[in-house]
Chains A and B, each alone.
Chain A
């Protein structure tokens, strides 16, 4: 079945810097990937839908200029948190949807100092 690889697993950065998170579909060509965010002790919230070869679709309240999504190939989507601030510290998770199942990445814990 499809396997999703997400990198890095955790990252610590200074406020104002940008951080890139990669999500790779290893066994499946994914035209669509999804990015979720999870704050401590809270549920997962959908941030955006990443579409291969076109612009991402953002959920209400998610700043597209702050959370840049690039889906340049069928196996890779990247989420860049630009000018990160402490309030962006969160667990970011990607997900790939195949015809039958949904597969999550292992998540990236972002800590902004």
Chain B
């Protein structure tokens, strides 16, 4: 399944399928991007990050793709599990890396059906 991020805030997938969550960022000068997962009532949990000098980075079951030309970021989750159900936010770091001044996207709710 695939979401358009800002325009489709909920993505529903079957357990075991791959998920793709998209995000459009605003500032072409942003040089650091992060994906977070947030469960209800909890703080954001770091998933994966990528710097602007890369276009792809892989983690465990997750891959982040960065397209600077169109200012687009995506998070791919392989073999989605029920525990992946949460709200996913992309964030861009305005200015120097790791300054902490993050601008968050709207968020996409991922629902995993058993």
Contact = CB atoms under 8 A, between A and B. Distances in A.
Contact of B46 (A43, A44, A101): A101
Interface stretch (B12-20, B68-76, B94-102): B94-102
A102 interface: yes
Contact of A32 (B43, B44, B100): B100
Contact of A97 (B42, B43, B44, B98): B98
Nearest to A34: B100
B59 interface: no
Contacts of B45: 104
A99 B107 contact: no
Interface residues of B, number: 18
Q: Classify the secondary structure of B's interface with A.
A: loop
Interface stretch (A12-20, A63-71, A105-113): A105-113
A105 B41 CA distance: 12
Contacts of B107: 42-43
Q: Classify the secondary structure of A's interface with B.
A: strand
B103 A107 contact: no
Contact of B103 (A46, A96, A100): A46
A107 B42 contact: yes
A24 to B, nearest CB: 14
A79 interface: no
Contacts of B99: 97
Nearest to B106: A43
B46 A46 contact: no
Contacts of A11: none
B104 A106 contact: no
Nearest to B94: A46
Interface in B55-114: 89, 98-107
A49 B101 contact: yes
B34 interface: yes
A109 B46 CA distance: 20
Query: Would you list the 3 A-B pairs with minimal beta carbon distance, nearest first?
Result: A97-B100, A104-B43, A43-B104
Interface of A: 6, 32, 34, 42-46, 49, 91, 93, 95-107, 109
